[in-house]
Amino acid sequence: MLKRLFLSLCLLAVSQVTFAKPDNLAAEQVLRRGNGSEVQTLDPHKAEGVPASNILRDLYEGLTIEKPDGTVIPGAAESWEISDDGKVYTFKIRKNARWSNGDPVTAGDFVYGLRRSVDPATGSQYSQILAPILNAEAIIAGKKPVDSLGVEAIDDSTLKITLKAATPYLLGLLNHSTTYPVHKGSVEKNGDKFSRPGKLVGNGAYVLKEWVVQSQVVLVRNPMYWDNDNTIIEKVIYLPIEESSAELKRYRAGEVDITGSIPTSQYNWIKKNLPGELHIAPTLGTYYYGFNLTRPPFKDNLKLRKALSMAVDRDILTEKITKAGEVPAYGWVPPGVNNYTSQQLDYAKLSRAERIKKAKQLYREAGYSKGNPLTVEIRYNTSEGHKKVAIAISAMWKMNLGVKTKLINEEWKVFLQNRKQKKLTQVFRGGWIGDYNDAFTFAELMQSNHGINDSGYNNPEYDKLLEQAATESDMKKRRGILEAAERMLLKDHAIMPLYFYVSKHLIKPYVKGYEPNILDHTYTKNLWIVKH
C-alpha cells in the first residue's frame, strides 16, 4: 500500500490559499535586493552560485517549494505518493499551474526539464545532483540515452519519478534549479537565448523583464502563476553588488531594501546603529580553501596541504575578520544537518602551539623551509570580505612557515572558469551552501566526477562510500557511511575548511514576511512592503 501524503499536503495548500493580505500595504510594491556577483546565466540547468539561485527561485517553480522557515511544501505539484520501498514518487501537477505565456504546466514539461538537465549536451555542471534518479549517472556519463531516465509522464497531470534507491532528501532536492521544468517550445525556438528578457517563459511567481549586465535584473509579477492572488510584491530588482561596503552605502541611501551580505569591517557599527535591521542566523554552509590536486605543488603532497591547514588560526579568522558569529570549521559538513554528526580534522583539539609545531615539521618533510619557501597563489572572487580572509591567511602562512603568497582576485565568471579548468589555480577560495538538508549535499561535491569538484579530488574509496550511501535504505547505516566518507576526505586534506557560515542581511523595517532559515532561501513572493 502506498504511503499517502494527500491530507497533510492539501492542508498546507489550503493555508497558502487563505493568506490574508495586510491592510497597511505600501502603494508601491517594489523590492530591491542586493545580490552579490553578476550572474552567468539564468538557464536553470546551467546556472551556478547563490546569486543565480536567488533569481531562479522567483522565475521558476519546482515540484516542491519552501515555506519562509524552510519547510518543504507543495510547489507545482499539489500532492504526491511514495511507494513502500521509497523508490517511486508519483506527483500530481496542479491543474491551475501555468507558464507565463498561459500554456498549462504539464508532467511532460518536468520530464523534458529533467532530461535536459542530465543530457551531456546541455553542459550542466550540476547534473550529478540528480544521481538518485534511475539511470541518471549512466546518462551523464554518455553510456545510456537521455530517454532512459527514470521519469515518466503518465498523463498531463501525473508524473512518476523512479529512483535507483530510496532517497530521504528527494523532496528537498526537487526545489533545486536542476529539477525545474523549462518551456520546450521556447527552448527549441530560441536555443541558448531562451533565458533572456522577452524570451524566458517561466512557471514561477515572476517573469524576467530586464537584464542589464553589471546594473540590474528586473522581474515583474507573473499574472499566470497559480498562486498569484497571494503574491504582493509587484516588481523585484536584483542588484549585482560585489563589494559589501558599497552595498551598505546604497542600503543607507535607500537604494537597497535587502542586502546580500554586510561588510565585516563595519559589523560593530551596524550592530550598534542598525540593530533592528540586522538579521544573522545559522545556515548550512562552509567557507573553505581548495587545493588544486591535479598539479604541483599540491598533487601527491599531503604533508604540505596539512601543514598549510594547521598553520591557520580559525579562531582569529572568525573573531577578528568575519566577526558575525561564524564558527571555526575543522570539518566539511556543518553542524545542524539532519541525521548526522559532523566529523573533525584529527588536530582539532590540539592547542595553537601544538598545531604550529606540527605544521612546521610537516612543512619541512614536504620539502620546504624558510630558506626554501613555498611560493603560492591564493585566488578569490572580487569581494572585500574574501580579500580580508586571504590577507589574514597569507600573513599566518608567512609568520608560521615562511610561505610567500600572491593574492589574485578575479571577477566571478573568470574565477569560476579558472577553478574548473584547474590550469592556473593553486589555492582558491570556495564556499558551499547546502542545496538540501542532508549530508550528501556536501559529500557529493567531492566525488571525482562531480562538475563542481574544482579541487580535482579523486579517491576511489571515497567514491565507493558515496555509492554505498546512495543505495543504503537503513538510515543508521547510511549515516555511518557518510560520516566515514567525511573522515576520509578530511584525512586526505583535499580542502581546507575555515569556518561555517551564518546568513547576514540588512533588511528595511518596512519589508515584512522575512524569516531566517537554515538554507538562507527567501522567495520574493513571501514578502511584502508596508507603509513607511
pLDDT in tens, 72-113: 999 999 999 999 999 999 999 999 999 999 999 999 999 999
What does the buried/exposed string (b/e) look like for 256-293 if buried means 16 or more CB atoms within 10 Å of the residue's CB? bbbbbbbbbebbeebeeebeebbbbebbbbbbbbbbbb
Residues in the chain: 532
DSSP state of 471: H
Question: Phi then psi for 152, rounded to 5 degrees?
Answer: -150, 135
If we measure between CA atoms, which residue out of 488, 444, 433, 446 comes closest to residue 470?
444
Q: What is the CA radius of gyration of the chain?
A: 23
Q: Band of the pLDDT at 19, cuts 50, 70, 90? A: low
Mean pLDDT of 480-503: 97
- What is the amino acid identity at position 45? H
Q: What is the spatial distance between Cα 331 and Cα 349, in angstroms, rounded to a whole number?
A: 12
Q: What is the spatial distance between Cα 402 and Cα 405, in angstroms, rounded to a whole number?
A: 9
pLDDT > 80? residue 20: no
pLDDT higher for 313 or 323?
A: 313
Tens-digit pLDDT profile for residues 369-383: 989 999 999 999 988
As a three-state string, the secondary structure of 182-221 is CCHHHHHHHHHHHHCCCCCCCCCCEEEEEEECCCEEEEEE
Question: Phi then psi for 226, rounded to 5 degrees?
Answer: -60, -30
pLDDT > 80? residue 17: no
Q: Where are the alpha helices (DSSP H) in 152-293?
A: 170-173, 184-190, 244-252, 267-273
Q: What is the DSSP string of 474-497?
A: -HHHHHHHHHHHHHHHHHHTSEEE
pLDDT higher for 13 or 328?
A: 328
| The three three-digit cell numbers of residue 279, written as one number | 538579521
* CB 46, CB 452: distance < 8 Å: no
Arithmetic mean of pLDDT over the chain = 94
Q: What is the spatial distance between Cα 288 and Cα 294, in angstroms, rounded to a whole number?
A: 18
Question: Phi then psi for 179, rounded to 5 degrees?
Answer: -95, 0
Q: Where are the alpha helices (DSSP H) in 372-492?
A: 384-401, 412-421, 440-443, 460-471, 475-492
Q: What is the spatial distance between Cα 408 and Cα 143, in angstroms, rounded to a whole number?
A: 39
pLDDT > 70? residue 4: no
What was the pLDDT predicted at 143?
A: 97
pLDDT > 80? residue 3: no
What SS3 state is found at 459? coil
Q: Band of the pLDDT at 360, cuts 50, 70, 90? A: very high
Label residue 190 exposed, middle or buried (CB < 10 Å: 0-12, 13-18, 19+).
middle
Tens-digit pLDDT profile for residues 116-129: 999 999 999 889 99
Tens-digit pLDDT profile for residues 146-167: 999 999 999 999 999 999 999 9
pLDDT > 90? residue 12: no
* CB 316, CB 456: distance < 8 Å: no
* CB 111, CB 151: distance < 8 Å: yes
Q: Band of the pLDDT at 451, cuts 50, 70, 90? A: confident
DSSP state of 277: G
Q: What is the spatial distance between Cα 117 and Cα 130, in angstroms, rounded to a whole number?
A: 8
Tens-digit pLDDT profile for residues 30-65: 999 999 999 999 999 999 889 999 999 999 999 999
Q: What is the spatial distance between Cα 87 and Cα 104, in angstroms, rounded to a whole number?
A: 28
* CB 196, CB 181: distance < 8 Å: no
Tens-digit pLDDT profile for residues 317-357: 999 999 888 999 999 999 989 899 999 999 999 999 999 99
What does the buried/exposed string (b/e) look like for 217-245 if buried means 16 or more CB atoms within 10 Å of the residue's CB? bbbbbbebbbbeebbbbebbbbbbbbbbe
Q: What is the spatial distance between Cα 60 and Cα 53, in angstroms, rounded to a whole number?
A: 10
What was the pLDDT predicted at 14?
A: 39
What SS3 state is found at 317? helix
Lowest-confidence range among 215-229, 391-405, 443-457? 443-457
What was the pLDDT predicted at 49?
A: 87
Tens-digit pLDDT profile for residues 242-262: 899 999 999 999 999 999 999
